[in-house]
Chains A and B, each alone.
Chain A
Amino acid sequence: SQQGEEDPQALSIQEGENATMNCSYKTSINNLQWYRQNSGRGLVHLILIRSNEREKHSGRLRVTLDTSKKSSSLLITASRAADTASYFCATDAPSGTYKYIFGTGTRLKVLA
């Protein structure tokens, strides 16, 4: 079963608005990552947040992590048409392995 589940599944906003995506997971983690995927091909790493961190920023991206609720959110501020993509969270699997479990993704569409 999936470790990470994103919601919403799809999101459509106007350029300039903020986009918020959420990720929930089931078991304890060491870190959580967010990736972007354009056109159903290779993923690009956006940001990593460790279990002892609560918030992290990178440019227009802000990621929060709430380990008590086993959830994370990705906020994209002042969205652009070029932000149109699918966004996935990935969590490291239970200790002893280096597997990463990806969520089902949020499809973001930014309208110009």
Chain B
Amino acid sequence: GAGVSQSPSNKVTEKGKDVELRCDPISGHTALYWYRQRLGQGLEFLIYFQGNSAPDKSGLPSDRFSAERTGESVSTLTIQRTQQEDSAVYLCASSLSAATDTQYFGPGTRLTVL
């Protein structure tokens, strides 16, 4: 079946602009995760959603970052007033549920802030 998809695959924006990144999880997966990966670095947890529970936002680096998820489907990660340090690959992953451990990753969105 279809895997996790993310769009756009690449995004170049100017400092100060807002950007919206989209993630389509695998159908039926109730858990959805967002990570940030700077060049040559590991993955930095940002936020996760599990069903209709309140999301765990503890990894969001500042109030410029927010994310939403509609039910158990699409999620959007919004970065307001982008800064150059926001440049990174943003990865989305989904799993059957948060308790089932194995995460399936999308290809990521490479964000470049000029």
- B interface residues, tally (CB under 8 Å): 29
A residues with a Cβ closer than 8 A to B are 2, 4, 31, 33, 35, 40-45, 48, 88, 90, 92, 97-105
Are A42 and B107 within 8 A (Cβ)? yes
Stretch at the interface among B11-19, B61-69, B76-84, B98-106: B98-106
Known contacts A99-B45, A101-B45, A102-B43; is-contact A44 B105 (Cβ 8 Å) = yes
Asked if B108 lies at the interface with its beta carbon under 8 angstroms from chain A, I say: yes
| B42, B48, B50, B104: most-surrounded residue (chain A CB, <10 A) | B42
| Residues of chain B contacted by A4 (CB below 8 angstroms) | 42
User: What's the minimum C-beta distance from A40 to chain B, rounded to whole angstroms?
Assistant: 6
User: What's the minimum C-beta distance from A38 to chain B, rounded to whole angstroms?
Assistant: 10
CA separation between A21 and B60, bound complex, in Å? 30
